[in-house]
Amino acid sequence: MIPRALFGREQNLANIRRDAFLRGVRAVAPATIATGTWGLVTGVAMVKVGLSTIEAIGMSLLVFAGSAQLAALPLVAADAPVWVILLTATVVNLRFVIFSAGLQPYFRHFPLGRRLILGYLTTDIGFALFLSRFARRPDAERGSPEQVWFFLGMAAGNWVAWQGMSILGILLATQVPGAWGLEFAAIIALIALTVPMINGKPALVGAATAGLVAVAAAGLPLKLGLVVAVVLGILAAMSAELMLERLGARR
Amino acid sequence: MSDLTIWIVIVGLTAVTLVTRSLFLVLGDRFPLPERVQHGLRYAPACALMALVAPELFVTQGAIDVSFGNPRLIAGIAAAATILVTRSMIAAMVIGMAAFTLLRLVA
């Protein structure tokens, strides 16, 4: 009886994981248009800068960070010192530190190795879709198998779309003319992801603030404006939420 | 840049990306964030994506350009309106790219 019950429960858990994984894949499917277009643009850019096919594929698989790669490539082309390239990429990546703080309550029960794998798989789109779906759920559900495997399903879809299109871009780089406006297609795909996330007044205030600050600070080196914009946007959204609560309490 | 240097750059980029993406996942137990901050991070997704997108629409060659002569801005607004109305990523891509291509031909 006992082994059977145990087996039954494990079977159940396996089903929960598989269903959550597939839900994650489905949730990320529309966003793979954005991921794939960015991947293609990045793949083409790596070869245009002079990386060999193997180097470009290696960079794609290992680094797996479009914005950091795109920021590093002009510096590689200009033969900049390695430490300058790495510092630039670190600054461009600073927003991921904020993301890792947002994801920490969901993955805190895992050992170090798995946390690093989850970190490697964290992308802008993956983080955005995950937290906008689960941030309002009760704290007790945080890190449940459903949530973790949903994240993994999303990450897998994202990873395959990115690597597939990036490698396609690497192989076809010499045949892609610059005049196609591919970069802008990637921007439009990001817009289509952003708009539905602005749900409610605090989010609207936060996003508007982040956009304004990012535009005003676009001249800052190393994409520092991006980090400043995210921090001020979050603060603005929190303030707006607090003010709305007070207004509501007064009524 | 030599092939060896490029591989050093690739490994270095891998390391800094892994460290930034995992920083709080690894250190968060020892340095817990206040509940207020944790709560505020739910707004991070919309803010981060908006901060990525806005400069691409409003800034042209280092200068802020809010005019009908800015194809990126107009096409971006068209795409945003499309996604608001239809909720379809494909429709937004088609309308946005069509607007962008047309405006560039006219300009």
Give the number of residues written for chain A: 251
Reading the block at residue A170, the tokens are 């690497």
ipTM (interface predicted TM): 0.83
Q: What's the rounded Cα separation, in Å, for the pair A48 and A41?
A: 11
Contact A188/B92 with Cβ under 8 angstroms? yes
> Which tokens in the block code for residue B11?
């490994």
Partner B, chain A 55-74, Cβ-Cβ below 8 Å: 55, 58-59, 62-65, 67-69, 72
Contact A42, A165 (CB under 8 A): no
Q: Which residues pair with B64 in a beta bridge?
A: B59
Q: A190 contacts in B (CB within 8 Å)?
A: 49, 52-53
- Residue B7 to chain A, least CA–CA distance (Å): 7
Cβ atoms of residues A21 and A156 within 8 Å: yes
For residue A176, give the DSSP letter: -
User: Shortest CB distance from B17 goes to which of A50, A63, A209?
Assistant: A63
Nearest-Cα residue of chain A relative to residue B4: A55
Q: Which two tokens stand for residue A109?
A: 């029960």
Q: Tokens for B99?
A: 């607007």
pLDDT along chain A (251 residues), means of 10: 55 87 94 87 86 96 90 82 84 84 91 94 90 84 90 96 95 77 78 84 94 89 78 94 85 59
| Orientation angle between helical segments A224-250 and A82-92, nearest 10 degrees | 20
Backbone angles phi, psi at A28, to 5 degrees: -90, -15
| Contacts with B52 from chain A: Cβ below 8 Å | 67, 124, 190, 214, 226
What's the pLDDT score for residue A92? 75
Q: CA nearest A211: which of A222, A195, A189, A199?
A: A195
- CB A78, CB B5: distance < 8 Å: no
Tokens 């395959």 sit on residue: A160
Specify the DSSP class assigned to residue A137: S
**Structural contact between residues B93 and A192, judged by C-beta atoms closer than 8 angstroms:** yes
A190 token code pair = 């990001």
Q: From the CA of B68, how many Å to the nearest CA of chain A?
A: 17
Q: What is the pLDDT of residues B59-105, one digit of tens each?
A: 888 888 988 889 999 999 999 999 999 988 889 889 999 999 999 88
**With a threshold of 0.90, does the pTM exceed it?**
no
Kindly give, in sequence order, each residue whose CB lies less than 8 Å from that of residue A241, ignoring residues fewer than 6 positions away: A202
